[in-house]
Amino acid sequence: MGSHYRLTCLHCGKLFDDPQEPFLLGCGENHPPALLRALYAEQRLPVDAQEPGLFRYRRWLPIRQTWPAAGNPVVFQSRALAAHLKLDALFLAFSGFWPERGAALESCSFKELEALSVGARLPQGERRTLVVSSAGNTGRAFLQAFSRQGQPALVVVPENALPHMWITGDRHPEVRLAVVRGGGDYSDAIQVGNRIASLPGFFPEGGARNVARRDGMGTVMLAAAEALGESPRHYFQAVGSGTGGIASWEMSLRLRQDGRFGDWLPRLHLVQSEPFAIMRDAWDRGARELPAVEEQEAKRRIARIHSPVLSNRHPPYALDGGVFDALQDSAGKTYAVSCEEAGQAGRLFESLEGCDLDAAAEVALAGLIRAVAQGQVGRAESVLLNLTGGGARRLIRERRRTRVHPDVEIAGPGIGEGQLAESLNLLQGVRS
């Protein structure tokens, strides 16, 4: 497995075979930053119904293996919420724990889809430690999926993410957690994670640059195409990095090329949380470059948003193949909603549909409510609302949760090399 795809640079068009050395994350040529994209041998959506979970789409995933006990995105048509919003074709993509709907992602987050896909991109037998930085839900998903598989990983999170670090079942001894103290945020965790990943025995997961991360998340759009029989006309999601928006756009391009799911691209509606909404601010100005926000001011704003996972200070917005291009190609819209709007949306959903949402999914629903009120969505048009997490309260009642405590504490993003190395001495058992 692995010969069913190649990679291409979205700036210069250079083609690559995916090397065994994980992971190829960039072109390497001397040109402006650009993402790589996977090109699959099969032009029509291939579905292997016998494969577990999201691996039913394995031939449209850049992977070398499949992992057992894989979850999958669940897509179904809403009745109660749709009636409330006066939408005739509202479909919900739910990634979380909702047994009655067939949703069994026990991390309660769609980030488990990317963790599974990233893990399956690894060559079999890889024992070096993958380093992944997270604001919360990504870290929990990697802790969950990599513990289940016994694959070495180090998750790096800011201090405010620690309450969200839990898994169901037992943590594997080679799956570790590092916390950045001193008031660090997601961007600080990324900075520290990149430094650790450059050390012997470690390697970077790569974030948005990892094609497996994006295409794993993109399986939500594939599940929607199966459920609707066509691509939706509108797509709503809350974003912090915007990687999920890029992923949905890329999968929509493949579905359009397939020819059986419509000749259109879904219009992306990407929702941020006030008062930190730099992608909304840039897109509303028609700007490819993000607005400059002083670091401490950005952190003050981030402390007031509805969901900490929507807080990347350096999202993949301007580079070739990034959020700007996705919005431009899809005639997209951006929004920023208040904490009050998001909280009201979450309560509305639970009262109508019967499941709790995580904070980011509440933001997405609030964005849909705003768009409907503004007349951005026609009553008869098909809408896919990507609810990227939920069901945690139900899971707490029905599953054993294990709190994950940090194995190493890092003083802050400005820690010296000597201090960083000393802190990482605690992780010697991870490296091989």
CA distance 122 to 145: 13
Q: Are residues 294 and 319 in the same domain?
A: yes
Are 388 and 244 spatial neighbours (Cβ–Cβ below 8 Å)?
yes
At 136-185, the pLDDT tens digits run 999 999 999 999 999 999 999 999 999 999 999 999 999 999 999 888 88
Residue 430 has pLDDT above 50, yes or no: no
Residue 415: CATH number of its domain? 3.40.50
Are 237 and 244 spatial neighbours (Cβ–Cβ below 8 Å)?
yes
pLDDT at 416: 65
Q: Are residues 331 and 228 in the same domain?
A: yes
Q: Are residues 299 and 427 in the same domain?
A: no
Are 407 and 431 spatial neighbours (Cβ–Cβ below 8 Å)?
no
Listed residue (338, 359, 131, 364) closest to 234, CA to CA? 364
Instruction: Decide if 219 is inside a domain.
Output: yes
Instruction: Decide if 16 is inside a domain.
Output: no
AA identity, residue 188: D
Which structural domain range is residue 177 located in?
129-200+400-432
At 105-122, the pLDDT tens digits run 999 999 999 999 999 999
Which residue bears the tokens 């399956």? Answer: 120
Residue 421 binned pLDDT confidence (cut-offs 50, 70, 90): low
Residue 177: strand pairing partners: 155
CA distance 194 to 407: 18
pLDDT at 415: 67
Are 210 and 23 spatial neighbours (Cβ–Cβ below 8 Å)?
yes
| Total domains in the fold of the chain | 2
CA distance 254 to 277: 29
Q: Are residues 98 and 224 in the same domain?
A: yes
What are the structure tokens assigned to 384, written together? 């896919």
In 3-state terms, what secondary structure has residue 409?
strand
Q: Are residues 302 and 235 in the same domain?
A: yes
pLDDT at 247: 99
- Give the number of other Cβ atoms within 10 Å of residue 390's Cβ: 30
In Å, how far from its chain's centre is CA 205?
Answer: 13
Residue 383: CATH number of its domain? 3.40.50.1100
pLDDT > 90 in the chain, percent: 87
pLDDT > 70 in the chain, percent: 95
CA distance 169 to 171: 7
What are the structure tokens assigned to 362, written together? 């509440």
**Helix axis angle, 137-149 relative to 111-121, nearest 10°?**
50
